[in-house]
Amino acid sequence: DAGVIQSPRHEVTEMGQEVTLRCKPISGHDYLFWYRQTMMRGLELLIYFNNNVPIDDSGMPEDRFSAKMPNASFSTLKIQPSEPRDSAVYFCASSSHDAEKLFFGSGTQLSVL
Amino acid sequence: RKEVEQDPGPFNVPEGATVAFNCTYSNSASQSFFWYRQDCRKEPKLLMSVYSSGNEDGRFTAQLNRASQYISLLIRDSKLSDSATYLCVPGALGGYQKVTFGTGTKLQVIP
């Protein structure tokens, strides 16, 4: 099993640019989660999907953030425009039907200059 | 009150020592709990599940105290390789799958 795959591993961009993070969940998993991790705030849940449908996006910080899941094997998290305070590690995780045990991707280290 | 609270540490312990840390949760309806381990600059990985009173796996023991609403993680005979951040999280409740992690407890095992 390939596990959860995220890309890119590292992203460095300038303030104001659009950033797109990508995630491929484990095949057969019904749930997909996007988290953001910083030293100050820890691991924050941004949004989660069930069967490709966004269920709870209350953690999305601002309208600059958007997430999509067009099919069961792909999701994107977009930031437009990006700001320095968006710098963090963004993790994608997937889980089977009971959402009890999460499997994380390796994360995307985002730096907005 | 936060959904999950943990002492951030760090807990600095010598090799071979026994160390324990707690995690308190606010939702008394939570039925399951999980401990994840996160190494520096890596993703969290599931360490243990707790569904009833407790669970033991080798040197690791997780216990649940429903009356006081906390779970604990006990590590015996600490190894250098146990150095990591340990995150706790209540499992999803039926129909509500928002999985919220604690901030984690950092453990440093010293030679």
**Is residue B10's pLDDT more than 80?**
yes
Distance from CA of A97 to the nearest CA of B (A): 10
Instruction: Give the per-residue pLDDT at B29.
Output: 78
- Judge whether A78 and A90 are in contact, CB under 8 Å: no
What is the per-residue pLDDT across A26-56, written as a single tens digit (0 to 9) for each? 999 999 999 999 988 889 999 999 999 999 9
Q: Does B49 touch chain A (CB under 8 A)?
A: yes
pLDDT tens digits, one per residue of B54-66: 889 999 999 998 8
Does residue B96 surpass a pLDDT of 60?
no
Whole-angstrom Cα distance, residue A39 to residue A20?
22
Decide if A9 contacts A108 (C-beta within 8 A). Answer: yes
pLDDT at A6 over 60: yes
Q: pLDDT tens digits, residue range A60-101? A: 988 999 999 999 999 999 999 999 999 999 999 999 876 678
Query: Under an 8 A CB cutoff, do A104 and B102 touch?
Result: no
Calpha distance A59→A67 (Å, rounded)? 12
pLDDT tens digits for range B27-55: 877 788 899 999 998 999 999 988 877 88
Closest chain B C-alpha to A106 CA, distance in angstroms: 5
